[in-house]
Structure 1
Amino acid sequence: MAMKAAAEFDRATAAEHAHTAVWIATVLRGRIAAGELTPGSKLSEQALSSALGVSRNTLREAFSTLAGESMVTRIPNRGVFVASPGVEEVREIYRVRRMIEPAAALWGEVTPEALDTMEAIVRRAQEARDAGSVADMADANQALHRAVVGLTGSGSLQTLMDRVLAEMRLVFHAMASTPDFHSHYVDRNVRLVERLRAGRRDEAASGLSADLDVAEAELLDRLADASG
């Protein structure tokens, strides 16, 4: 039922946005970020063009956009597939994250409303951890980092972060056998929000930078183990 409603929403909004390739790329990126499209999934031109009410040419333009973002991979004579990020893709993700997230924590506009939103997110993450829900933990942790970049007030940086988080979702699928990956970042995120609330922005930025280093190292180790 939910997938049907999502498909109907996609069709309606695609029509509203004049069937642009940019909008279709946004829809597909959102599905990847939501975990609906998993690494290795084949993206059928016929099925998607019919479901979204767009031409195949428009869909191919969207595929080209997503390929440029390393979200999908084109395989000659086989089709387009959702990407499976590897070591270099993870490194690139964290190069971007280290540049924008600590800077957002240090120089962004930390309003009471933003802090309230972040505190609600980390509470949600704690509840998910207590309930043993890996997917909900991952969603909350992702939402917290998106909210951090939101402190910049920059739509361009938010769009960039959305792309990064969608690619992170693909990386998380490689961590399916290690659900503990998300749990120990819940408390780190709680500390981040506490520091921002207390006005200790230097500590918040440096702590966030260190957390990103730890997460990258852990992901690279797990990917190496998986391929070894």
Structure 2
Amino acid sequence: MATEELNALADDRALLGRTSTAERVADILRSRIAEGFFPPGTRLSEDSIGGALGVSRNTLREAFRLLTHERLLEHRLNRGVFVRVLSIDDVEDIYRIRRMIECAVVRSLGEPPYALDRVAAAVADGQRAARAREWKGVSTANIHFHRELVALARSERTDELMRSVLAELRLAFHVVDDPRGLHEPYLARNLRIVETLQEGRRDAAEALLADYLDDSRDGLVEVYGQRVPADL
């Protein structure tokens, strides 16, 4: 495990405060995994991470257990805990779930106007990142766009489910070495969905979103399949 990664975790130690819990450790590790600090296939060292965060082995193991339940980590017998490498079937299943959740949220919005400030802000963040050629920033903004879109349902349970699904999806993104090609084409489509909702055309926005997710799935599966064996 690289020194840079451990130093970053040590910086996170202050977030634990006096009420350190496995859930808070899991939050930190989840964020670091989502950011790509621990790429898929990385073995997580209990001694190194526990030392960097200043937590007990039992607390760290509980955090690992929580993230394993979320399908972000996996325990390999006699080898340790690793960041999961998704299979193509995993990627396709994630998109099935996304289509069910996201399209259902848009379909159930009710009568306009809709509270789209945070969704529009995510679109603007993606556009700024693209102008700066910060392609990981574009990826993050796209994730925020979909998370804020689902948040329109005002359901904590749906928000939690979507957070887990998107965190798992980012494992696939980190395997692909062309974040610009993967994410930039969808900036204009994000904007179009927002504009359509601003016009009050909920059904049209749902259709745009469904096509968007199908195209995103197909594009990711194509490039992902070149990096990961189909029978993983």
Partner of 1:38: 39
What is the percentage of aligned positions where both structures have the same residue? 41
> What's the RMSD between the two structures over aligned residues?
2.5
Contact kept in structure 1, 2:135 and 2:179, CA below 8 Å: no
* CA-to-aligned-CA distance 1:5-44 (integer Å, 9 cap, x gap): 7644x3333344x332222222211111222221122211
- 2:190 partner letter: N
Contact kept in structure 1, 2:175 and 2:224, CA below 8 Å: yes
1:215: Cα distance to partner? 0.9
Give the 3-state SS of the residue equivalent to 1:85 in structure 2.
coil
Contact kept in structure 2, 1:15 and 1:53, CA below 8 Å: no
User: Is 2:14 the counterpart of 1:12?
Assistant: yes
Q: Given the two structures, how large is their TM-score scaled by the length of structure 2?
A: 0.86
Q: Please give the alpha-carbon distance, in whole angstroms, between the structure 2 residues aligned to 1:96 and 1:217.
A: 15
Cα distance, 1:225–1:6 mapped onto 2, change above 3 Å:
closer
Alignment gaps of 5+ in structure 2: none
Partner of 2:178: 177
1:167: Cα distance to partner? 1.4
Q: Given the two structures, how large is their TM-score scaled by the length of structure 1?
A: 0.88
1:211: Cα distance to partner? 0.9
Partner of 1:161: 162
- 2:185 partner letter: H
* CA-to-aligned-CA distance 1:168-213 (integer Å, 9 cap, x gap): 2211112213631111111111111111111111111121112111
Contact kept in structure 1, 2:6 and 2:48, CA below 8 Å: no
Runs of 4+ in 1 over 3 A off after TM superposition: 1-8, 108-114
- 1:13 partner letter: L
Contact kept in structure 2, 1:142 and 1:165, CA below 8 Å: yes
Partner of 1:125: 126
Q: Please give the alpha-carbon distance, in whole angstroms, between the structure 1 residues aligned to 2:74 and 2:102.
A: 27
Give the 3-state SS of the residue equivalent to 1:135 in structure 2.
helix
Contact kept in structure 2, 1:38 and 1:173, CA below 8 Å: yes
Count of residues in Structure 1 that have an aligned counterpart in Structure 2:
226
Q: Please give the alpha-carbon distance, in whole angstroms, between the structure 2 residues aligned to 1:2 and 1:115.
A: 36
- 1:128 partner letter: A
How does 1:42-57 map onto structure 2 within 5 Å? Answer: 42-57=43-58
Cα distance, 1:227–1:53 mapped onto 2, change above 3 Å:
closer
Alignment gaps of 5+ in structure 1: none
* CA-to-aligned-CA distance 1:54-100 (integer Å, 9 cap, x gap): 22122112212212222112222221111111212102211221111
Partner of 2:83: 82
1:108: Cα distance to partner? 3.8
Partner of 2:153: 152
